[in-house]
Amino acid sequence: MAPPSSTAGLRLAELAALTGAQLDGDGDVRVTRVATLERAGAGAIAFLANPRYRSALASTGASAVIVRPEDATATALPRLVHANPYAVYAKVAAALHPTAAPVPGVHPSAIVASSARVAASAAIGAGAVIGERATVGERASIGALCVIGADASLADDVLLHPSVTLYPRTTIGPRTIVHSGAVIGADGFGMAEEGGRWLKVAQLGRAVIGADVEIGANTTIDRGAIDDTVIEDDVKLDNQIQIGHNCRIGAHTAIAGCAGIAGSTVIGRNCKIGGAAMIAGHLDIADGTVIAAGTALADSTATGGVYTGVLPAVPQREWMRIIASLRRLHSLFERVRALERNTKQGES
């Protein structure tokens, strides 16, 4: 099923002007929706970003396509040509399938503290709770059953999907999107051991989220122990990510699902972190670092680059042989050291 479209469509020439792509072919072709190459029909525009799907250009039913310059001659269809077709697709999809603007107002079942400040253009959903002295900016949309703690601050055009929880004093920057189930500003995991028992360490900082951030469903971001936990502008977080207290995530960094980042780690700008990566605490990750999926990172990175620490899956019997060999490595190492010592003694 094609994604819904709330527009009557746009001419290909209009889309070229909007996206900065080069127009090849009939600019008067009108498209109303986006689709995959395989499933596109009349009125749809599709894109080719991965060369492995190049053969699908010949059979697509799309009215127009988005391609790289090197793929432009592989189809006779009207096309938008750009070095980054996926980014062009993102702009086209946003233009053809715009998000509906929230209807301003407070649902009768919502609870808004008398000291809270909610912009008249904001939308507050059913069962939402807005705490004392909280502020909600212009055109913000607060979904059903969201809880906004005391003294929290939401800037203009923030979108909280249903059932988001913001603890007190959490700050959310403009145009940030938070998906359902996310919890921002909860206590960090701060414990002091004494006499075999644990003492809870008060978490006094805040969670500060920048502008144009997107936070996935069921992701958790702990507030700082003393200083703030900070997510800088344009950070993109997937679902089910854990970010510990006092972390700082640099602008334009993207983190895939199920990654875990322990407390007080600073991640630089423009980093890419793969799914299920585990990053130890108190590390400094350089700008431009790429951490592969499933990698366990225990040391800081002084320079950017790709870091990988994953053993690929192999048949179980082969894995058991590998483990048996690993267990013998220490004794083999000691034997080699003994041989080296004996050799040096013999030479002297």
Domain membership flag for residue 337: yes
pLDDT class of 27 with cuts at 50, 70, 90: very high
The length of the chain in residues reads: 348
User: What does the mean pLDDT of the chain come to?
Assistant: 95
Residue 3 lies in a domain: no
Yes or no: say if 218 and 239 are a contact pair by the CB < 8 Å rule.
Answer: yes
Reported as a pLDDT band with limits 50, 70 and 90, residue 343 is: confident
Q: Is the pLDDT at 3 greater than 90, yes or no?
A: no
> Which regions of 175-313 does DSSP assign to beta strands (E)?
177-178, 183-186, 191-194, 197-200, 207-209, 214-215, 220-222, 229-231, 236-237, 242-243, 248-249, 254-255, 260-261, 266-267, 272-273, 278-279, 284-285, 289-291, 296-297, 305-307
Q: What is the pLDDT of residues 69-108, one digit of tens each?
A: 999 999 999 999 999 999 999 999 999 999 888 899 999 9
Let me know: does 86 contact 47? Beta carbons within 8 Å: yes
Report the CATH number at residue 194. Answer: 2.160.10.10
CA distance 166 to 178: 10
Rounded to whole angstroms, the Cα distance separating 244 from 229 reads 8
Alpha helices in the chain (DSSP H): 12-19, 85-96, 316-327, 329-347
Show which of 39, 68, 96 is a domain's final residue.
96
Between residues 54 and 8, the one the model is more confident about: 54
Confidence of residue 344 (pLDDT cuts 50, 70, 90): confident
Co-location of 91 and 56 in the same domain: yes
Structural domain that includes position 81: 10-96
| Residue 342 binned pLDDT confidence (cut-offs 50, 70, 90) | confident
Is 346 a residue whose pLDDT tops 80? no
Q: What is the pLDDT of residue 310?
A: 80
Percent of the chain with pLDDT over 70: 98
Q: What are 245's two structure tokens?
A: 């207290």
123 within some domain:
yes
Mean pLDDT of 314-327: 92
Task: Count Cα neighbours of 211 within 13 Å in the Cβ-side half-sphere.
Answer: 5
- Which of the residues are catalytic? 245
Residues sharing a CB contact under 8 Å with residue 104, sequence separation 6 or more, in sequence order:
120, 121, 122, 123, 139
Q: pTM here?
A: 0.90
